[in-house]
Structure 1
Amino acid sequence: MFFTLEGIDGSGKTTASKIVVERLKKEGHDIILTREPGGDHIAEQLRKFILSTDNSDIRPWTETMLYIAARKQHVDTMISPAIKSGKIVICDRFMDSTTSYQGYGRKLDVDKIDKIQELLLEDNMPTKTFFFDIAPDKVVSRVNNRGELDRLEQEGLAFQEKVYKGYKELVRKYPNRFVTINADQVQEKVAEDLYKEITKVLK
């Protein structure tokens, strides 16, 4: 099983996933929680480069291809081997982040991005994708309270609104893969809803 978590910055998916994974592990599930960009040491180095505020002049397509390169490394070294060995993999962000942030957020060709990703990821597609749905204007304070923001977090509300619209379009386009989680709730309820949706699939 391969589950991915998606949503705008500050949507609460990272916190909820940690709570849920800990609970599933206690129930005896063999499960791995990972993130993107990142996962293995090479992809983590690419993460630092991509998100560094020193690289504010990076071009949109360069940014996009670096994200996809990090994803390919992550899939080949961690995600695919784990799935083949029978583990459950939960990944905090995956291919839909690139489609939403770079495709819709940067106004790049979404179809072209999807074709590149499909070519490189092959059959390593998520079983289910959980979209943490909360309006961008409701998470501005959450993000700003993190302290030092990375390059993408500094993009501001207008950018996040474009990304959010991109996610909503993906949910509409792929209704069988996406499950929407109401992220405009207290943290414990968001985690509980995610747990219930994941266990539905596992059963």
Structure 2
Amino acid sequence: MTARRGGFITLEGGEGAGKSTVLGKVRERLAEAGIDALFTREPGGTGAGEAIRQVLLDPAYRGLCAEAELLLMFAARAQLVREVIRPALAAGRWVLSDRFTDASFAYQGGGRGQPEPRIADLERWAADGLRPDLTLLLDLPVAQGLARAGARAGAADRIEQEREDFFERVRAAYRARAAADPGRFRVIDASRPLTDVLDQVDAVLDDFFAQRGAA
């Protein structure tokens, strides 16, 4: 490993896409490569961020307006970038995050209808213009993802309780982001059996590690 800036990898996807399983796979591959990696999630990842997460996901706040939701997401993100991600990358560590700014373009943009230029302004300001080096987008049909999510134990959170058309817009926004930035995004067909999904992830990581000289 060199002393240069660490790599920044994010996982994105809709409900039931299998992010937790893929996150475990990526963590395993990073460890096998001897990479010093920090793992975080959004919203959250800091004391303040986790408190904001509770508000964002609590069904008791179902009446939260779209503008407030967007600003809370970026408030948590601003703290995460400055307290955790930027210092880790500067120290040469890699960072793996369960969601990042692409999630706001998908959920608050596509899902809630917030204007893309507004989110882009917040990305430049609140997120300090930070973008991942690699984003794995776990893509699958909305109905399939919701069926998987519905089979999980526990009550649905505030966002998980949205209607199917909301998640269709989220998926469309994610796919548009990926199409516009093919150099960063790698779309994983998450509708496939788990072994196939993990094989796709392995292939992407092999290529990425080779490019970074980390394999």
Give the structure-1-normalised TM-score: 0.95
Q: 1:52 aligns with which of 58, 80, 83?
A: 58
Aligned amino acid, residue 81 of structure 1: P
Partner Cα distance (2:53, 2:194) in 1: 27
Which residue number in structure 2 is paired with residue 177 of structure 1? 184
Question: Match for residue 39 of structure 1?
Answer: 45
Equivalent pairs counted in the alignment come to 203
Aligned-pair distance for 1:123? 4.2
Matched residue, 1:89: 95
2:174 paired with 1:167? yes
Contact 1:51–1:151 (Cα < 8 Å) also in 2: yes
Please list the CA deviations of residues 129-154 of structure 1 after superposition, one character each: whole Å capped at 9, or x if unmatched. Answer: 11111110111111112231100001
Report if aligned partners of 2:81, 2:128 keep a CA contact under 8 Å in 1. Answer: no
Residue 17 of structure 2 is matched in structure 1 by: 11
- Rounded Cα–Cα distance in structure 2 between residues aligned with 1:198 and 1:31: 14
In 1, Cα distance between equivalents of 2:94 and 2:205 = 11
- 1:140 match: 146
Do 1:37 and 1:46's aligned partners in 2 also have CA atoms closer than 8 Å? yes
RMSD: 1.3
Q: Aligned equivalents of 1:113 and 1:8: distance in 2?
A: 19
Residue 98 of structure 1 aligns with which residue? 104
- Measured against aligned partners, the alpha-carbon deviations of 1:22-79 in whole angstroms (never above 9, x if no partner) come to 2321332211221100111110111011110010000000000000110111111111
Contact 1:20 1:191 in 2 (8 A): no
TM-score norm. by structure 2 comes to: 0.90
Partners of 2:176 and 2:39 in 1: CA distance: 26
1:119 counterpart = 2:125: yes
Question: Secondary structure at the residue paired with 1:91?
Answer: strand
The partner residue of 2:72 within 60, 66, 70 is 66
Residue 153 (structure 1) aligned to one of 157, 160, 175? 160
Unpaired runs of 5+ residues, structure 2, are: 1-6, 211-215
Structure 2: distance between partners of 1:47 and 1:187: 29
1:130 aligns with 2:136: yes
The question of whether the paired residues in 2 share the 8 Å contact of 1:20 and 1:192 is answered with no
The letter for the 2-side match of 1:191 is L
Structure 1 CA distance, aligned partners of 2:184 and 2:25? 23
Q: Which structure 1 residue ranges, 4+ long, deviate > 4 Å from structure 2? A: none
Q: Which runs of 5+ in 1 are unaligned?
A: none
